[in-house]
Amino acid sequence: MKLLHTADWHIGKELGEYSLLEEQWHAFHQIVKIAVDEKVDGIIIAGDLYDRAIAPTSAVNALESMLRELNLDKNFPIYAVSGNHDGATRLGAGHEWREQTKLFLNTSLAGAFTPIETDEAQIFLLPFLDPLEARTYYQIPEEQAANYSTIEQVMAKIVPDLVAQFIDNKQHLLVTHFNVTGSGNDDYQFTSETNSRVGGLKGVPAALFNDFDYVALGHIHLKQASPNPKMQYAGSPVKFNTKEAQSEKGCFIVNINEDGVTTDWKPIVTGKDLIVLKGSYDELIQPEFYEQYERNGKNWFSITIDGIGAREARATLSNIYGDVVEINYNLPKLTDNTKTKFAIQAKGQAEEDVVGEFYREVTDDELSTKQVKIVEQTLTELRKAEEN
Ligand SMILES: [Mn+2]
């Protein structure tokens, strides 16, 4: 049995002010082609199908068309879970009749304990969840809630209940969507140390999943972040930010037989690439410089200007390059003296104050009331936002 493992489609995502739908369709068509060429027996989508819990109509139409093409036109079973970006309840609506055509999209913890069975494998679909959802499911009394307050703590309870469903002579696959940390090469022991607030407690130790023959992960967008060959992130099929600009996109083919599970990586060619540029403003507007790039709709550009730009820098650069998704400034470095002074001041201060003081330090001026508001709003949003 062969499955295609993809994740983090984030349908509806925008890059700067630009919609990525065209890119997402481009990647999707390649995924379909790989699935057909490889004659896979199903498609794994490991969460974050949408970019937002309440996806815009254009995104809903796109994802529905994609699922339709894979499942109804090409007859591929689909094994999917919701990720932290998906609205689980909305996405899970209608799952009972979708399952009639083998579109298995599980969005609840309760659904994770009934694996999908094929001749060769049991496929467990464990969606992204927070500790509260697990406490509710297990009816953990209030006075014990503190023992189940991190994702690691609840996962240490969930995984043995999944493993209890294992049937011998089948391979055991898990499709899930978390920040999995460590290499998994160590035995998992739930100690008081891992129980403490220290360390990456937002993550799940890879070793917790060691009983599975393959863990198809979503959440982190770079396949390089995979804990080990048995637990892999397929990554997002489209480049979403400059961190991902250098990385190859693609999906895994998962080969399952009685001896075990192996995988092959299949690259996806980006339609419109994300090109990261850095230079002085004068350099960036020289034809000799910009003519080496295919511009005006052929690529996305993320530009960092060394030093101060110019008035209308954004408009000028957009005219030259076309789709400029972001412009950053690489300002002159502070002197060591200022840095030390600033580091001392920044200790223990609210981030809002640190930003204000930093501004004062480099400009000898105060943030305007409007700028203060923007800083506050941005920091509030950043604190709320989750990674990936
Ligand atoms: Mn994601």
pLDDT per residue as tens digits for the range 70-121: 999 999 999 999 999 999 999 999 999 999 999 999 999 999 999 999 999 9
Q: Which fold has domain 2-268?
A: Purple Acid Phosphatase; chain A, domain 2 (3.60.21)
How large is the average pLDDT for residues 269-291? 90
pLDDT of residue 227 exceeding 60, the answer is yes
Range list of β-strands (E), 74-169:
78-81, 103-106, 116-117, 121-126
Among 148-152, 190-194, 257-261, 340-344, the minimum mean pLDDT is found in 190-194
Mean pLDDT calculated for residue range 10-19: 90
Cα of 26 vs centre of ligand 1, distance in Å, is 18
Q: Is the pLDDT of residue 326 over 80?
A: yes
pLDDT at residue 199, as a whole number = 38
Calpha distance 224→243 (Å, rounded): 12
Q: Which of 70-84, 97-111, 268-282, 328-342 has the lowest mean pLDDT?
A: 328-342
**Residue 197 scores a pLDDT above 70:** no
From ligand 1's centre to the CA of 99, what distance in Å?
A: 24
Taking residues 11-39, report their average pLDDT.
Answer: 94
Distance (Å) from CA 177 to ligand 1 centroid:
8
> Model confidence at 189, in pLDDT bands (50, 70, 90)?
low
Q: Average model confidence (pLDDT) for the chain?
A: 89
Q: Residue 192: is its pLDDT beyond 50? A: no
The answer to whether residues 119 and 258 touch, using CB atoms and an 8 Å cutoff, is no
Dihedral of the CA atoms 18, 23, 24, 29 (nearest 10)? 160
pLDDT at 65 > cutoff 70: yes
Distance CA 40, CA 75 (A): 11
- Could you tell me the distance, in angstroms and rounded to a whole number, from the CA of residue 48 to the centre of ligand 1? 5
Residues 6+ apart with CB under 8 A from 267: 248, 249, 250
CA of 339 to the centre of ligand 1 (A): 35
CA of 64 to the centre of ligand 1 (A): 19
Q: How far is it, in rounded angstroms, from Cα 306 to Cα 11? A: 34
Q: Chain-centre distance of CA 141, in angstroms?
A: 33
pLDDT confidence of residue 388? 62
Q: What is the pLDDT of residue 258?
A: 84
Mean of the pLDDT values across residues 240-268?
A: 91
Least confident of 155-159, 228-232, 321-325: 321-325
Question: 360 versus 197: which is more confidently predicted?
Answer: 360
CA of 9 to the centre of ligand 1 (A): 7
How remote is the CA of residue 84 from the centroid of ligand 1, in Å? Answer: 7
CA 194 to ligand 1 center in whole angstroms:
25
Indicate the Cα dihedral angle 61, 63, 64, 67, nearest 10°: 160
For residue 193, the model assigns a pLDDT of 44
Q: Ligand 1 centre and the CA of 3: distance in Å?
A: 21
- Quote the ligand 1 centre to 85 CA distance (angstroms): 7
Query: Which is nearest to 18 in space by CA: 272, 306, 292?
Result: 272
Alpha carbon of 108 to ligand 1 centroid (Å): 18
**Residue 306 confidence (pLDDT):** 86
Mean pLDDT computed over 53-57: 94
Region 30-35: what's the mean pLDDT? 98
d(CA 141, ligand 1 centre) in Å: 32
> How far apart, in whole angstroms, are the C-alpha atoms of residue 178 and residue 217?
7
Question: Where are the CATH 3.60.21.10 domain residues in the chain?
Answer: 2-268
